[in-house]
Chains A and B, each alone.
Chain A
């Protein structure tokens, strides 16, 4: 294709504007997400859990989900919001693991959802709104903990995940009463204000540092991981073995938001590109002749 220099330059200018839009430097790394003043959460201590699964049954009852202990679920699903799993059954380093929504401080599902069906609301609880959700499942793609589940077998499905029993508010304290925490016989999972739970976790570590992972410098998973989560974990084995990924301290998938923000900040770049394209074509048309 022969292209004279003038038309090439003109085109390159326009194409360059388009590329510049995409290639602007990203905003500096995000500040640590804010902790909501009324943040409420849970602390699960895998070293105390005996795997009785009372919490699984209580969750199903409290949330009117099908299934019971005689037909125990194997994983989170469209009808299971809370699950107890086991790592290395009958081995010296056996550990139980409780999985449910982590109620992230800066949740990827909230950033992903197109129309705010996922939101962080009272007590910092991440909620799902059935009047908005169209079922695109982008939340599932986004969540680093694989928490939101979809009802695959239903013609009119919902997204299912733990909402920290925000429908069971204690009359005297005015705070949620997660059913799983109410029934736990070993206080392996407890509910409370986020800041109190952090202190309690630290107290347990100080009291029995030898119990907790990693040896020497025990860690509270969720204190900083993925920007911080309102559900905290203590364990005797590597958290990754329990399905808690090593996310670093940045909120998961935050780079996508940074790129999107940078490109569409104030919608200036798209409008500018539109103007340039229009101007180039207007000039082309006015010059009235096509270049070969």
Chain B
């Protein structure tokens, strides 16, 4: 994965807006201390009826799906052998690595007994292989490590120019290792998200009738998998556009537009699987007789369909259409996850859930930390492409 054209953005790190971000994060730190000192009930709207809220549905379930850029681009690059997407790989892997790391951090915030969290990876003989959540937990941990490993060449490139000979020879060694092992690392980087992104759908099936039938179907693992790929492409488009603007790098326009074809196929798959599955299971009536939930179901599908429309045929040649479609996919994929974890989850009469202000603030802080780390890393390490890529629309 040599990226001779990637280079650090450079420039001063502590700009005015970065200082503001750090200030915000310090308040966030105080709220976090509050959460660990006073308990989850003190800072959140969670209850015995709604034991999982936005920390799981957004930070973890949606967060990791939005962090599928690395997965989605790697599929194109390495499985479909579309090498022209290479300049998108490194920034995508970086956002994925950050997204997954912070999802892991959110889990530490969310679990009630984090001082025992090491039990999950370490108590191998207690593993319950029936548990979809265990599969997610182990797989996410492994993939987070792997993403940083995939990103290591960027850090090694920086080390290669270091003054210390020790660091330089370590970098040499590292490059030799990656040259040999890269294929198997990347293959693992494709396998692991395939496993846990689908299992994230399976997780809610154990709730049985508590999740509405429009979401709780045996196809939900596949629907989660397909939609996370679409969200992965969308986030690459979004992030490449914003970085090119923020750091005045050339926008990989032609590449982003040609991602559109992939997005259309993936979205189409999602819609076909979803509707056909409901019909085969004889649950088609639910699409119309479930009141607000039927409406949500059609909003999800309608927005995906509109995104497909924006990307179809010659419309994708207009970049604003591509960007708009990407935003739609990000929003709708997130909505689908929120609905299947929270909105369509009904624990019975007497329970309701709305995130409290500190609960939301903790989630915003996680996003803020991710942005702060992203800016720091692209300014310091060779992640973003520095010149126009050679690949062009063909």
A50 within 8 A of B: no
Task: Contacts A77-B48, A114-B120, A292-B84 given; indicate if A151 touches B191 (C-beta within 8 A).
Answer: no
Task: Contacts A1-B262, A115-B128, A135-B111 given; indicate if A155 touches B84 (C-beta within 8 A).
Answer: no
B29 within 8 A of A: no
B120 engages A134 (CB within 8 Å): yes
Contact of A263 among B133, B186, B219, B221 (CB under 8 A): B221
B222 engages A22 (CB within 8 Å): yes
Task: Contacts A19-B222, A260-B132 given; indicate if A134 touches B116 (C-beta within 8 A).
Answer: yes
A281 within 8 A of B: yes
Which chain B residue has the least Cβ–Cβ distance from A115? B126
B40 engages A112 (CB within 8 Å): no
A290 within 8 A of B: yes
A7 within 8 A of B: yes
In the bound complex, residues from chain A placing their C-beta under 8 Å from that of B191 are: 270, 273-274, 277
A141 engages B126 (CB within 8 Å): no
A252 within 8 A of B: yes
Q: Considering the chains assembled together, what is the distance between the CA atoms of A22 and B113 in angstroms?
A: 32
A243 engages B348 (CB within 8 Å): yes
Which chain B residue has the least Cβ–Cβ distance from A287? B81
A87 within 8 A of B: no
Q: Which of A76, A114, A149, A281 has the most chain B CB within a 10 Å cutoff?
A: A114
Q: Considering the chains assembled together, what is the distance between the CA atoms of A77 and B41 in angstroms?
A: 13
Q: Which residues of chain A in 35-52 are interfacial with respect to chain B, using CB atoms and an 8 Å cutoff?
A: none
In the bound complex, residues from chain A placing their C-beta under 8 Å from that of B187 are: 274, 277-278, 281
B208 within 8 A of A: yes
Chain-A contact segment, one of B146-154, B194-202, B359-367, B369-377: B194-202
CB distance from B298 to the nearest CB of A (A): 25
Interface string of B78-116 (1 = CB under 8 A from A): 111111100000000000000000000001001111111
B119 within 8 A of A: yes
Q: Considering the chains assembled together, what is the distance between the CA atoms of A270 and B262 in angstroms?
A: 24
Q: Considering the chains assembled together, what is the distance between the CA atoms of A3 and B79 in angstroms?
A: 12
Contact of B79 among A132, A156, A259, A277 (CB under 8 A): A277
A2 engages B394 (CB within 8 Å): yes
Q: Which residues of chain A in 214-272 are interfacial with respect to chain B, using CB atoms and an 8 Å cutoff?
A: 243, 245, 247, 252-253, 255-257, 259-261, 263-264, 270
CB distance from B255 to the nearest CB of A (A): 10
In the bound complex, residues from chain A placing their C-beta under 8 Å from that of B81 are: 7, 10, 284, 287, 290-291
A108 engages B133 (CB within 8 Å): no
A72 within 8 A of B: no
Q: Which residues of chain A in 133-161 are interfacial with respect to chain B, using CB atoms and an 8 Å cutoff?
A: 133-138, 140-142, 144, 146, 149-158
A138 engages B131 (CB within 8 Å): yes
A108 engages B208 (CB within 8 Å): yes
Q: Considering the chains assembled together, what is the distance between the CA atoms of A201 and B184 in angstroms?
A: 61
> How many residues of B are in contact with the other chain, CB < 8 A?
78
A255 engages B48 (CB within 8 Å): no
A278 engages B123 (CB within 8 Å): no
Task: Contacts A140-B48, A152-B39, A264-B129 given; indicate if A11 touches B80 (C-beta within 8 A).
Answer: yes
CB distance from B191 to the nearest CB of A (A): 5
B113 engages A3 (CB within 8 Å): no
Which of under 10, 10 to 19, 20 to 34, or 35 or more describes the interface residues of A?
A: 35 or more
A14 within 8 A of B: yes
A253 engages B194 (CB within 8 Å): no
Task: Contacts A18-B194, A285-B183 given; indicate if A135 touches B131 (C-beta within 8 A).
Answer: no
A141 engages B40 (CB within 8 Å): no
Q: Considering the chains assembled together, what is the distance between the CA atoms of A151 and B41 in angstroms?
A: 8
A137 engages B51 (CB within 8 Å): yes
Task: Contacts A116-B126, A273-B191 given; indicate if A10 touches B221 (C-beta within 8 A).
Answer: no
Q: Which residues of chain A in 60-108 are interfacial with respect to chain B, using CB atoms and an 8 Å cutoff?
A: 76-77, 108
B190 within 8 A of A: yes
A3 engages B120 (CB within 8 Å): no
Q: Which of B80, B81, B131, B198 has the most chain A CB within a 10 Å cutoff?
A: B81
A165 within 8 A of B: no
Q: Which residues of chain A in 7-57 are interfacial with respect to chain B, using CB atoms and an 8 Å cutoff?
A: 7-8, 10-11, 14-15, 18-19, 21-23, 26
B5 within 8 A of A: no
A113 within 8 A of B: yes
In the bound complex, residues from chain A placing their C-beta under 8 Å from that of B259 are: 1
A141 engages B114 (CB within 8 Å): no
Task: Contacts A1-B259, A22-B225, A114-B120 given; indicate if A277 touches B190 (C-beta within 8 A).
Answer: yes
Q: Which residues of B contact A (CB under 8 A)?
A: 36-42, 46-49, 51-52, 75, 78-84, 107, 110-117, 119-120, 123, 126-135, 137, 183-184, 186-188, 190-191, 194-195, 198-199, 202-210, 218-219, 221-222, 225, 258-262, 347-348, 391, 394
Jot down 30 A-B pairs with beta carbons below 8 A, ordered by A: A1-B258, A1-B260, A2-B261, A7-B81, A7-B82, A19-B225, A23-B219, A108-B208, A111-B128, A112-B131, A114-B127, A114-B134, A115-B119, A115-B134, A116-B128, A132-B119, A134-B111, A138-B203, A141-B207, A142-B206, A152-B41, A152-B46, A152-B48, A155-B36, A157-B40, A256-B203, A259-B202, A260-B130, A281-B187, A290-B82
User: Which 6 interchain pairs have the tightest Cβ spacing?
Assistant: A135-B112, A152-B41, A1-B261, A290-B83, A135-B113, A256-B205
Besides A21-B194, A108-B206, A247-B209, 6 other A-B contacts (C-beta < 8 A): A8-B80, A111-B131, A115-B123, A134-B111, A157-B39, A278-B187
